[in-house]
Amino acid sequence: MGINYFESLNGDIRVSFKLDTKNTSYCIGIVYEEGYIGHLYYGSKIKDGDLSGLIRINEYPFGKVGFERERCSFHDFFAHEYPTHGIGDYREDCFGVETKGGNSEVLLSYDHYEIIKGKPGITGMPSSFGSDDEVTTLIIHCTDRFLNLKVDLYYSVFYDNDVITRSVKVINSSDEHLFIKKIYSTCLDMDNKDFDAITLHGSWARERHMESVPVTHNKLIVESVRGESSHQDNPFLALITPNTTEDTGEVYAMNFVYSGNFKAGVQLDQFDHIRMFMGISPEDFKWKLEPGDRFESPEVVMTYSDSGLGRMTHAFHDFYREHLIRSPYLHKKRPILINNWEATYFDFDTDKLISIAKEASKLGIEMLVMDDGWFGKRNDDSNSLGDWVVNEEKIKGGLKYLVDEVNKLGMKFGIWFEPEMISPDSDLMREHPDWAIHIKGREGIRSRNQFVLDYSRKDVRDEIYKKVSAILKSANIEYVKWDMNRQLTDLGSSALEPERMGELLHRYVLGVYELQERLTKEFPDLLLENCSGGGGRFDPGMFYYSPQIWCSDDTDAVERLSIQEGTALVYPLSTMGAHVSDCPNHAVGRTTPFETRGHVALAGTFGYELDVTRIPKEDVDMIPDQVKMYHRYNDLVREGDYYRIASYGKNHEFDCYGVVSKDKKEALYTFVQVLGRVNHKTRRIYLRGLDPEKTYRIDEDKCYTGDILMKVGYLIPDIKGDFRSILIHLEEKDG
């Protein structure tokens, strides 16, 4: 299912492959006796047929590839499926090496293929999965016979999801080592359609804002070289045709299942051809491949839509929920938690935490999370990272006593770690100064007064895991927030040979994956939430280990509209950590209504980030209703289809989005009026995602067909003031 193989269509193409999903087709051709692998088509689903005459092979003025005098020009024009370095293709290539002799050219040719049911995993890395009935994989085996190098191109076709994933495996079959200097996971060559590119850019506290820019000649690059996927650039890129909307227009999208440095981009060349690519960033990357060794690239998720951005979003959301997230919490309500960070920062002890828990439990909050400051001598951010031992001067009576007291209140207990970090002022640093990533003899560059542990080293990983797991075994801890609060600098390791120093960044990411894999296997019922200074590591690689990621340290309801909109463009609502916090907001100083804060946080995992013993009584009194709201709507929010209706980031006045159940019987829309208006009492909103034939009941006394609500629209009632919001709940009318 999903992959067809054709032989000898004509003299130009020896072999072709057609990869079909429910709504798309992806076609590959093997041309000429040299076995060059060419891209034929990606787009709306097409019938089986001969595409060989539609690939551009002989158009260049110097003629066909058979003319040896001008092979270079051929490569610079040809639509390569996986372009390589040094052969005359001067566009962005995907793969380059350095041989023992110092050469860098790679010329791949087709050798043979396999089609297998199911999907192989990727060693040491997260990757999507599916049953034999859900996914079929094509492996195109290529060789560079001069280097005796094998390169396998993997294409896994998820038929029902309209998704194709791609990755690459390299095997050194020679008797000499070489270095991989560049390896992307995917490339897409096609004609230009006057594309715009959509990216998700940002910074700390304003992650993943959507930006659309025209694609012009030369390159548009999205890249992180910070050691993590980053606040600044998310590993996502989409190309859209002119005037694309939520429901119309073509979309080509890629997302990288990786949590380290990446590079993605699009290049428009002199022939008006587009090249779109994605993979590990080649900056500071150099991997030694000994004879017989192999290297596997991370996975790229690709999807195409001919029905606008909405279909793209639904493809990504469904795919990640069905084929990447493994947590037992995937289809469960997450406990409503209260985190003490913005409530107390470092100034807390057992008594303070129990006082928060007592009040929170009365209001229906289900979990207390103890954040930074419980370990070592940690009363500020200047020390103790790596010393994962309970500070019993603060946690009086010990951790088990605190957890037991919280459990007696009917609440679960969670805890914060930052396992990848080490403080200069820590027992761990004094015992093992070589365990930090550093350049010998050079003074280290601090960020947040901390260094990064060398997770390329097994001894470091083992020691940190031993300490973390000991804490988790010491008490009934049911949730972990895994944080990372700085990026990587001083790229050196005391455990790597000089010629392997270029492996550090990738080995670091593999080390993070290894520890999270160990954690989730030893504690299978643990709810793990990843975090990196907020949303600095919000990428698909993390979903493999945690069903949710802290979306941003900025919890202001208005700021969160754009942050959550950009995040939800690609990632399911169930993955977005979102809390109600105190006001004035600690990040931006704005005061918004408590009700609005609750409505906006409902679009994520939902929780609280405040001191419930100190907030105004009118806010406290609203919490039980918000708890009921969460329990009433979370199944719908978590499992339904998400629709963008209006963007405050674009209109600068209001925001609206909705979630519709898969069977179209129920929907919930959130409207936020950021700026009040005086010239109209109502605002017309055109709902999306409903069944036009169904009749829906709104507010018990109003009934409309889905057709009317989507075409005529719904009138939002008069809302007085700024930062106000309402929920619009629809259910199919019985009978």
How many Cβ atoms sit within 10 Å of the Cβ of residue 664? 19
Tokens read off for 531:
């975090």
406 phi/psi in degrees, rounded to 5: -65, -45
Nearest to 484 by CA among 204, 254, 186: 204
- Catalytic one of 76, 318, 483, 554: 483
| Residue where the block lists tokens 């001969």 | 50
Q: Environment class of residue 80 by beta-carbon count within 10 Å: exposed (0-12), middle (13-18) or buried (19+)?
A: buried
User: Where does 454-612 have alpha helices with state H?
Assistant: 458-473, 504-522, 540-543, 557-568, 594-601
Helix ranges, 418-482 (H):
427-431, 458-473
Residue type for position 122: I
What pairing do the DSSP bridges indicate for beta strands 641-646 and 654-660? antiparallel
553 is an active site residue = yes
Report whether 315 contacts 162 (CB < 8 A): yes
- Between the alpha carbon of residue 482 and those of residues 444, 446, 485, 619, the distances in Å are 24, 20, 10, 29
| Closest listed residue to residue 147, CA positions, set 184, 98, 111 | 98
3-state secondary structure of 75: helix
Q: Are 134 and 158 in contact (CB under 8 A)?
A: yes
> 390-423 as b/e, with b when 16 or more CB fall inside 10 Å?
bbeebbeeebeebbebbbeeebbbbbbbbbbbbb
Cβ contact 597:557 at 8 Å: yes
Instruction: Given the residues 196, 553, 582, 619, select the one marked as catalytic.
Output: 553
Residue 115 near residue 123 (C-beta atoms within 8 A): no
Beta strand ranges found along 352-402 (DSSP E): 367-370
Cα separation, 557 vs 572, in Å, equals 19
Looking at residue 459, what DSSP letter applies? H
Which residues are catalytically annotated? Answer: 483, 553
